[in-house]
Chains A and B, each alone.
Chain A
Amino acid sequence: AQSVTQPDIHITVSEGASLELRCNYSYGATPYLFWYVQSPGQGLQLLLKYFSGDTLVQGIKGFEAEFKRSQSSFNLRKPSVHWSDAAEYFCAVGASEGGANNLFFGTGTRLTVIP
């Protein structure tokens, strides 16, 4: 069965510092991987996705993620965090079950940015 693990519940970084949010997945076939961000009181917004090809994926807002099949990981990175990046971040894997293509989400990582 597919699953997504985000081991860090809450991360605090200083503005301008680099950021890495961890994501590990479990899925038997080729994974479709996503990172979404949720600001307070808002719905989720897609940051980036990986389907195939280059394992380093660029997204919006200066984020990137690297797919590492050997580690079953899809970590999200940003070289310099801005205060506006404070939000909750969700990793998800797309899985095909019974003909349905749906997403399975991790529990999220809450990012706090301090000045």
Chain B
Amino acid sequence: EADIYQTPRYLVIGTGKKITLECSQTMGHDKMYWYQQDPGMELHLIHYSYGVNSTEKGDLSSESTVSRIRTEHFPLTLESARPSHTSQYLCASSEYRGFDEQFFGPGTRLTVL
């Protein structure tokens, strides 16, 4: 069973606040991803990482930032949340080999008022 965790599951926050969405995996996967998911829209890759100290931007521009200090941990940060950041954020991980299966966390639903 895939073990990838996201906290919080739901977050309602005011404009201008700094937030960090947590993602952890216990599978030892090198590659990790953050996707943004809006209703009726494609999942868009916003960040990914090949391993420790590696971070890359995805195909969708995002004002968020990520870090990868430990293999198992890939947090996403918004320095100043805005209503346009309201969305569902999904974290995933995979082996670092071609197109291996991605294992997804349950997601964080963020609402910025």
Q: Measuring CB to CB, which residues of chain A are less than 8 angstroms from any residue of chain B?
A: 4, 9, 32, 34, 36, 41-46, 49, 51, 90, 94, 100-108
Contacts and interface: CB of A to CB of B under 8 A. Distances in A.
A103 B102 contact: yes
Contacts of A102: 33, 45, 48, 58-59
B14 interface: no
A9 B59 CA distance: 23
Nearest to B58: A102
Interface residues of B, number: 23
Nearest to B98: A101
Interface string B23-67: 000000000010000001111110010000000101100000000
A49 to B, nearest CB: 7
A105 to B, nearest CB: 4
29 contacts: A32-B98, A32-B99, A41-B106, A42-B106, A42-B107, A43-B4, A43-B90, A43-B103, A43-B104, A43-B107, A44-B90, A44-B92, A45-B104, A49-B99, A51-B99, A90-B43, A94-B98, A100-B48, A101-B98, A102-B59, A103-B99, A103-B102, A104-B45, A104-B59, A105-B42, A105-B43, A106-B42, A107-B42, A108-B40
Interface of B: 4, 33, 40-45, 48, 56, 58-59, 90, 92, 98-99, 101-107
Q: Is the interface of A mostly helix, strand, loop or mixed?
A: strand
B23 to A, nearest CB: 11
B101 A46 contact: yes
A51 B41 CA distance: 25
B53 to A, nearest CB: 17
B101 A49 contact: yes
Contact of B41 (A94, A100, A103, A107): A107
Contacts of B104: 36, 43-45
